[in-house]
Amino acid sequence: MPPVNKMMHANMHPEKADFGVLKKIVIYCRRYLPAIIVALVFAVFGSYTTIIGPEKISDLMNEITDGIMTEVDISAIRKICFTLVIIYAGGAVLHYGQQFITATVTQYASRRLRNDIDKKINRLPLRYFDTTTRGDILSRVTNDVDTISQTLSTSTANLVSSAALFAGVMIKMFSSNVILALVTIASSVLGFVFMGIIMKKSQKHFNRKQADLGRMNGHIEEIYTNHNIVYAFGSKKKETEKFEKINESLYSSNWKSQFLSGMMHPIMGFVGNLAYALIFIAGVAFIVNGSDAVTLGTIMAFVIYAKLFSQPLSTFAQSMTQIQQASAASRRVFELIEAEEMSDESAKTAKLRDVRGDVEFRNVRFGYTPDKTIIHNFSAKLKAGQKVAIVGPTGAGKTTMVNLLMRFYDVDEGDILIDGVSVNDMKREDVHDLFDMILQDTWLFEGTIRDNLVYNRKNVTDSELDEACRAVGLSHFIATLPDGYDTMLSDSLNLSEGQKQQMTIARAMIKEAPLLILDEATSSVDTRTELVIQKAMDNLTEGKTSFVIAHRLSTIKNADVILVMKDGDIIEQGNHIELLEKNGFYADLYNSQFVVT
């Protein structure tokens, strides 16, 4: 079997942002650059409206306080209020435009990214899927793309607007009053120092919580899935104690992490209120000392500035976390997009029309990795219409030969020919069209029974479906279903493994390819059903070159040729009677199935 390499470890720990990978995202989104620039311009001007708002509020407050002693200038107040409405309404429109453009661009980019991944997967060699777990590939297509999408839609524009807001607030504060500006900055920095201390203390508890949660989920899944085994071996008490130990650890880490993180909000609230108090104290001190540099409007403006000043700092902290996650996600996605593809076969024109079914393996040598050869020197000539059985111990290379025959892999040396034409001279899809394939592991997808039976073939009539289903013993079962062939396959329709296998065999019969591969096709059915299916497969293999991989040697007695493999080579060849008469390796394999100990 091909090697499997678990590729999860690199993603289990947080990493620093890789700006080289983020640059790839920027390059990937360059076609949307005009829209992105417009969104960034909107973000900058939207931040500007936020900054000049407190200045107008200060003017409004000064007009009111000045008018208390004399007469309130209603016209001036009305003008300022109207200006404020225009400013904040304009800011709302700009922020909405920014979010709309960003969301639209993000979804276009995400859709394109998923489409590119889908096309890429169809161009990847089978070797990639052998060395990467299915869950990891699914995670790249879903979770990682979503992480990139969320970062693009929130962090990019927010970072620009926050930077503009931060710079603008700093300029406005220092241009208004240096002392009040320093008081505001000092109080905000104090709050972030407290936040940093708490985050540092709580992070280890969050890490332990996630680890405990993983242990808990793993324990529950393992024990509940094998509940009967736990009871049968009397391990209920032992597993309960283990559960309680994990649960206690999860309770402790969860409580500590939530308690410490819960302190952030009240502390930041206290620091914020402290900033307001310090601003009022410093401002009143200026007024009491008769300074004209500070008015009541100035104090009100700085209270708003204090709130605005902390916002970009919080956004920066949050965005950096998202950027780190997006960096890791981008690395995984682009590893997939940039993975080595199958060779281009557009120049290959060889194609079989009237297929006889002669197959020749000529000095085939192959290994899944360069340093480990599995098939050493495999040669065999098989005539059209023959039923060829491939037998041997586990790891002999039986399934590997089938993978090479269908060009799921290319041989390292030698050649495989069908009707005298090398499979390397034909496109892969043309080679695949020559074969029906029935595997030990069944594959049915969500859809109707009809969709599963006529998979990738058009214009199949109900009479053809009936004939195939009768041949494999499925017709009675389908007749009992309320919607017949239009019944949806779902969790509510419980199919046994045998019924699933019967459907895959019927699917192969409907395709009617000239060559057939059966890899332990009846291993999931009972003896009675096996007899029905065996008869159906005899009809299916009639006139076709068929390759049968079987461990139960009693099922391949009628094979025209039996290839006995061991350690990647053919060590014996002949029919059932001839191989038994040789009294060699095949005879030992066959007789071992009937030894009574």
Residue 483 has pLDDT above 90, yes or no: no
**In terms of pTM, does the model score above 0.75?**
no
Res. 5 pLDDT band, cuts 50 70 90:
very low
pLDDT of residue 416: 93
Q: Which CATH superfamily is domain 17-164+326-342 in?
A: ABC transporter type 1, transmembrane domain (1.20.1560.10)
Residue 244 has pLDDT above 60, yes or no: yes
Q: What is the DSSP letter of 488?
A: B
Secondary structure element (H or E) that encloses residue 375, with its range: strand 375-382
Which segment of 285-294, 396-405, 502-511 scores lowest on mean pLDDT?
285-294
Whether the predicted pLDDT of 584 surpasses 70:
yes
Is the confidence at residue 491, as pLDDT, over 80?
no
Q: What is the pLDDT of residue 248?
A: 92
Please count the residues of the chain.
597
pLDDT higher than threshold 70 for residue 473? yes
CA atoms of 62 and 49, how far apart (whole Å):
20
What's the DSSP call for residue 342?
A: P
Q: Give residue 376's pLDDT band: very low, low, confident or very high (50, 70, 90).
A: confident
Q: Long-range contacts: 289-297, Cβ < 8 Å, 24+?
A: 293/177, 294/177, 294/180, 295/58, 295/61, 295/62, 295/65, 296/61, 296/62, 296/65, 297/57, 297/58, 297/59, 297/60, 297/61, 297/62, 297/65
What is the CATH superfamily name and number for domain 359-592? P-loop containing nucleotide triphosphate hydrolases (3.40.50.300)
Report CA-CA distances (Å) from 281 to 284, 291, 296.
5, 14, 12
Query: Region 31-54: what's the mean pLDDT?
Result: 82
Residue-level pLDDT at 418: 92
Residue 572 has pLDDT above 50, yes or no: yes
pLDDT exceeds 80 at position 322: no
pLDDT at residue 6 greater than cutoff 60: no
Count the Cβ atoms, other than its own, within 10 Å of residue 340.
10
Mean pLDDT, range 429-437, rounded to an integer: 87
Across 43-57, 184-198, 258-272, 499-513, the highest mean pLDDT is recorded for 499-513
What the block records as the tokens of 466 is: 């009936």
In the prediction, which pLDDT does 168 show? 79
Helices 497-511 and 462-472, packing angle to 10 deg:
130
pLDDT over 90, % of the chain: 3
Name the residue with higher pLDDT: 579 or 177.
579
> What would the mean pLDDT of 407-416 be, rounded to a whole number?
90
Q: In the prediction, which pLDDT does 10 show?
A: 39
Kindly report, residue by residue over 216-243, the tens digit of the pLDDT.
Answer: 877 787 787 778 888 888 888 888 898 9
In angstroms, what CA-CA distances link 515 with 70, 361, 454, 540? Answer: 103, 15, 18, 10
Q: What is the pLDDT of residues 88-121, one digit of tens each?
A: 888 889 888 888 888 888 888 888 888 898 888 8
Residues forming CATH 3.40.50.300 domain(s) in the chain: 359-592
Q: Which two tokens stand for residue 147?
A: 């992480």
Looking at the chain, the domain(s) classified CATH 1.20.1560.10 span 17-164+326-342
At residue 360 the predicted structure's pLDDT band, cuts being 50, 70 and 90, is: very high
Mean pLDDT of the chain: 80
Q: Is residue 590 over pLDDT 60?
A: yes
Number of alpha carbons in the 13 Å side-chain half-sphere of residue 35:
17
Q: What is the mean pLDDT of residues 269-279?
A: 76
pLDDT value at position 597? 44
Percentage of the chain modeled with pLDDT above 70: 88
Of residues 345 and 561, more confidence is placed in 561
Q: Range with the lowest mean pLDDT among 39-43, 96-100, 260-264, 378-382?
A: 260-264
Res 16: pLDDT? 47
Task: Tell whether the model's pLDDT for residue 4 goes beyond 50.
Answer: no
pLDDT of residue 8: 38
Say if residue 444's pLDDT is above 80: yes
The residues pairing with 421 across neighbouring beta strands, listed in sequence order, are 418
More reliable by pLDDT, 323 or 355: 355
| pLDDT for 538 beyond 80 | no
